[in-house]
Amino acid sequence: MSSRSTSFITPLIAVCAAAFAAAPVLAADPIVFTSWGGTTQSSQQKSWAQPFTQATGINVLMDGPTDYGKLKAMVDSGNVNWDVVDVEGDFAYAAQKAGLIEPIDYSVVNKGELDPRFASASAVGSFYYSFVLGYNKAKYTAAQPSAWADVFDTKRFPGKRTFYKWSAPGVLEIALLADGVPQNKLYPLDLDRAFRKLDTIKSDIVWWSGGAQSQQLLASGEAPIGMFWNGRLHALEQTGVPVGISWSQNLTAADMLVIPKGAKHKAEAMKYLAAATSAQAQADFATATGYAPVNVKSAALMSPSVAKTLPDQYKTSQINLDMKYWAEHRDEIAERWYAWQSK
């Protein structure tokens, strides 16, 4: 070997050695994080999973979409393949009651930094969002909608209206608010009254099943008014669509992070929860998605222009959906909900 080749290889070896020293040594067993897919899970991977792996050496595999029946079957069989799962708030309460999820170890997860609304015995917030009234400004150039009652006023605001097909939580509350029920008198829900109100516009409803579909309906003008996730409207607005948003009586709910009972990597999963709910991780995710952080210290780490678009800036008339109520009544209401839709 010539001295020239030796002089080239020696620093190369040093560089490679330094790179290996800097890279985390991956744990033998990765953990599996299950969520809903799409841009939300992509942002969770980028904002939470990748920094977690870099910091701990624990690889995080992505799975999804979340399936409650599958989670229960895993726990019942004792063969749990998921370690952390993103679920809806009402399911988290029901799963806790049914013994399907592990208690949160708050000696690992910093409960003191979390919004108390989204920290329970067996679940911590993933992020929180609002259902807001959204509309296409190009379709309503005179009077513009500002309250849920306007969604039911097809004379002043003509056109199809859109609602979330899979979420009776939110839609039924909107119907009652539009019918004049005070926000502090919503629960227990008057189901007969809610369905009667929905009957008045049933033929004008176009249902959306996912966030991307809701954006398309609004942007195209096919359904220029309705209920939307605030983050989806924020993202749509960035593309140049003339989006109108009313935060009046915005309805908040949170996705929650849980660890299935019998998870194979419980200790590592608990560390992941701590990392995912940390101030920086929550700030990064909120910036990417337009959904609000559950960590109360995250706002200080975000651009003010982004922070002002989040649900926690609109608390004056904000309504927290009662997920404990929904956990107790989910099945019975769902049966009526889907039967009504199919008629």
Residue 116 confidence (pLDDT): 94
State percent of the chain over pLDDT 90.
Answer: 79
pLDDT digit string (tens) for 140-155?
Answer: 998 999 999 999 999 9
Alpha carbon distance 343, 341 (integer Å): 6
> CA-to-CA distance for 205 and 165, rounded, in angstroms?
10
Q: 3-class secondary structure for 203-244?
A: HHEEEECCHHHHHHHHHHCCCCEEEEEHHHHHHHHHCCCCEE
Euclidean distance between CA atoms 41 and 21, whole angstroms:
30
**CATH class (in words) of the domain with range 129-253+315-342:** alpha beta
Which whole number is the average pLDDT over 120-135? Answer: 96
Q: Which residue intervals of the chain bear CATH 3.40.190.10?
A: 26-128+254-312, 129-253+315-342
3-state secondary structure of 63: strand
Task: Give the pLDDT score at 79.
Answer: 97
Contact (CB, 8 A) for 178 and 152: yes
pLDDT at residue 131, rounded to an integer? 96
The radius of gyration computed from the CA coordinates of the chain, to the nearest angstrom, equals 23
Q: For 222-258, how does the pLDDT look when each residue is reduced to its tens digit (9 = 90+)?
A: 999 999 999 889 889 889 999 999 999 999 999 999 9
Angstrom distance (rounded) from CA 122 to CA 242? 41
For residue 77, the tally of other CB atoms under 10 A from its CB is 9
Mean pLDDT of the 86-104 span = 96
Q: What was the pLDDT predicted at 308?
A: 81
In 3D, which of 315, 287, 258, 312 has the Cα closest to residue 122?
A: 258
**82 burial class (0-12, 13-18, 19+ CB within 10 angstroms)?**
buried
Averaged confidence pLDDT in the chain: 91
pLDDT reading at 14 higher than 70:
no
Tell me the CA distances in angstroms from 336 to 129, 193, 328, one per residue in order: 26, 13, 15
Contact 228, 236 (CB under 8 A): no
pLDDT score for 309: 81
* pLDDT value for 28: 60
Q: What is the pLDDT of residues 59-82, one digit of tens each?
A: 999 999 999 999 999 999 999 999
The pLDDT of residue 24 is above 80: no
Comparing 262-266, 296-300, 307-311, the range with the smallest average pLDDT is: 307-311
Does the global pTM surpass 0.85? no
Q: Which CATH number fits domain 26-128+254-312: 3.40.190.10, 3.30.390.30, 1.10.10.10, 2.40.30.20?
A: 3.40.190.10
- pLDDT at position 214: 93
Residue-wise pLDDT tens digits, 198-232? 999 999 999 998 888 999 999 999 999 999 999 88
Beta strands in the chain (DSSP E): 31-34, 60-63, 84-88, 124-136, 161-164, 205-208, 225-229, 243-258, 319-320
Residue 27's pLDDT is what?
Answer: 52
* Predicted local distance difference test score (pLDDT) of residue 17: 43
Give the residue among 104, 56, 106 at the shortest CA–CA distance from 84.
104
What pLDDT, on the 0 to 100 scale, is given for residue 12? 40
**What does the alpha-carbon distance between residue 261 and residue 277 come to, in Å, rounded to a whole number?**
20
